């Protein structure tokens, strides 16, 4: 284990630590959202078919397959973070993510190498999913363990905001490329640019993470010799209720995040018939509402608690799902934007509150493993597959609002689980217990 430097009395080390964690999260969502924004192009280049809808479904299925590898990455990186330290796990995950994402930008297409092209794309996506399995959980654990006890909600809200920053940056890059390049050039090479940006971002993130200190919570575990040899075994033996809750919460946030950041743009283009540039601009504008709202939710959660905000957001999603999809499918840019803003308010409330709640559910010695597994199993089961399920529902029913029924069903189930099982975690101590 690397030597831990003495704690500085300056606030700069904590600022550097949080910045390092946030940068990896920005990169994670930049990469994943960029894929969603160019999914139609990837579908035609790697899964050619006479039907554009079939090509899109194949592309979105490849998007979803990465989520099957996230629990594997969660088990690996979460266990590594609880045994060797949060910083080591975060450093390794960002390297793997940067390399695998860059590989997508370098892949030859189906026309060049045939069936090997989609196979290599799936492999790259699986490696990317493996690395992301430890990224968000590591960042959430790192930030919350560095936060003052009475401001954990606000500090963790920056993590949700950073995902929005990554989404906005991906939208700006793709929108700029679409606006400045002829369609032929964008489809030939322009779509690759966002993926090729991953490696330099990863190097910056790695540099910052190697300069940070371990969290006080993990250093206390080392000092008191409470680091567990098998975090996975300890997790399922001693904290089964917490892991079930974490999975349920992640399922809910997963569907809202990937509807908001991936599916809605494809819905506006493929189902409603808007121009891709218009759809991307509307979605990016809604992100500008989502981002600052995350900080507001963080402050409120530190005052009134997490549980009621989560329940309110879940109820809102169940009740407003159909109206939101009616607005999105109206063919009006203004109404579509209004629908996205309503969804953004609910998604921000859920994301911020769930992020801090998940970290507060687990004791220090298994915190990263618990957050990583809970978050990624829930996301793999519901979140990552939701764009594919939504597109399949539209294709099979011919109804533009069909994806809202899936959202309602998930919301109702999760509401029952949360009411029965979720405690209020505000002011719960983060020390090992």
What is the structure's pLDDT at 23? 83
Task: Determine, yes or no, domain membership for 1.
Answer: no
Whether the Cβ atoms of residue 99 and residue 384 lie closer than 8 Å to each other: no
Output the six-digit token pair for 397.
């029913």
pTM: 0.83
Judge whether 431 lies within some domain: no
- Alpha-carbon distance 65 to 384, whole Å? 8
Q: Is the pLDDT of residue 11 over 60?
A: no
What percent of the chain lies above the pLDDT cut of 70? 92
Residue 432 pLDDT > 90: no
186-220 b/e (C-beta count within 10 Å ≥ 16 → b): bbeebbbbbbebbeebbeebbebbeebbbbebbeb
pLDDT in tens, 116-135: 888 898 888 889 889 888 88
Q: What is the pLDDT of residue 373?
A: 94
The domain that contains 221 carries what CATH number?
1.20.1250.20
Within-domain flag for 363 = yes
Q: Cβ of 105: how many Cβ atoms within 10 Å?
A: 19
What per-residue confidence (pLDDT) applies to 258?
84
* Residue-number span of the structural domain to which 122 is assigned: 12-421
> CA-CA distance, 59 to 226, in Å (whole number)?
45
Q: How many domains does the chain have?
A: 1
Q: What's the pLDDT score for residue 53?
A: 58
Query: Does residue 163 form part of some domain?
Result: yes
| Region 274-284 average pLDDT | 84
Asked whether residue 4 is domain-assigned, the answer is no
Q: What's the confidence (pLDDT) of residue 103?
A: 92
* Mean pLDDT across the chain: 86
CB 259 within 8 A of CB 405: no
Question: Which residue is associated with the tokens 């098998």?
Answer: 230
Residue 404 lies in a domain: yes
- For 214-235, the pLDDT digits (tens) are 888 888 888 888 899 999 999 9
Q: Per the structure block, which two tokens stand in for 147? A: 């936060």
25-29, 53-57, 89-93, 308-312: which has the minimum mean pLDDT?
Answer: 53-57
- Is 236 inside a domain boundary? yes
In a domain, 319, yes or no: yes
């Amino acid at each position: 284990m690397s030597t831990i430097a003495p704690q500085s009395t300056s606030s700069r080390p904590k600022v550097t630590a949080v910045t390092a964690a946030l940068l990896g999260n920005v990169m994670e969502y930049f990469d994943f959202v960029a894929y969603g924004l160019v999914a139609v192009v990837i579908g035609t280049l790697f899964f050619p078919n006479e039907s554009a809808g079939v090509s899109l479904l194949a592309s979105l299925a490849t998007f979803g397959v990465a989520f099957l590898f996230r629990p594997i990455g969660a088990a690996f990186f979460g266990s590594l973070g609880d045994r060797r330290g949060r910083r080591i796990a975060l450093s390794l995950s960002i390297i793997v993510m940067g390399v695998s994402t860059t590989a997508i930008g370098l892949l030859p297409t189906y026309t060049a190498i045939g069936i090997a092209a989609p196979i290599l794309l799936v492999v790259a996506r699986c490696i990317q999913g493996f690395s992301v399995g430890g990224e968000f959980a590591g960042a959430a654990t790192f930030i919350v363990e560095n936060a003052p006890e009475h401001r954990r909600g606000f500090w963790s809200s920056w993590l949700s905001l950073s995902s929005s920053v990554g989404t906005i940056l991906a939208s700006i890059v793709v929108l700029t490329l679409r606006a400045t390049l002829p369609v032929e050039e964008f489809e030939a090479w322009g779509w690759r640019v966002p993926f090729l940006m991953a490696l330099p971002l990863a190097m910056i993130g790695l540099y910052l993470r190697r300069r940070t200190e371990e969290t006080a919570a993990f250093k206390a575990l080392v000092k008191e010799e409470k680091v567990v040899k098998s975090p996975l075994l300890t997790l399922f033996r001693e904290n089964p209720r917490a892991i079930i809750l974490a999975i349920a919460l992640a399922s809910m946030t997963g569907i809202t995040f990937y509807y908001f950041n991936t599916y809605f743009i494809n819905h506006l283009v493929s189902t409603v018939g808007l121009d891709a540039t218009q759809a991307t601009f509307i979605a990016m504008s809604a992100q500008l509402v989502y981002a600052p709202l995350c900080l507001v939710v963080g402050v409120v959660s530190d005052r009134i608690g997490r549980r009621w905000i989560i329940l309110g957001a879940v109820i809102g999603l169940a009740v407003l799902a159909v109206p939101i999809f009616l607005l999105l499918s109206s063919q009006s840019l203004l109404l579509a934007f209004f629908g996205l803003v309503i969804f953004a308010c609910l998604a921000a409330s859920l994301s911020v509150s769930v992020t801090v709640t998940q970290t507060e559910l687990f004791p220090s010695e298994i915190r990263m493993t618990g957050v990583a597994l809970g978050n990624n199993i829930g996301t793999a089961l519901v979140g990552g597959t939701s764009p594919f399920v939504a597109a399949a529902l539209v294709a099979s029913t011919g109804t533009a609002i069909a994806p809202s029924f899936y959202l309602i069903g998930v919301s109702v189930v999760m509401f029952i689980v949360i009411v029965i099982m979720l405690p209020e975690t505000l002011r719960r101590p983060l020390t090992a217990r």
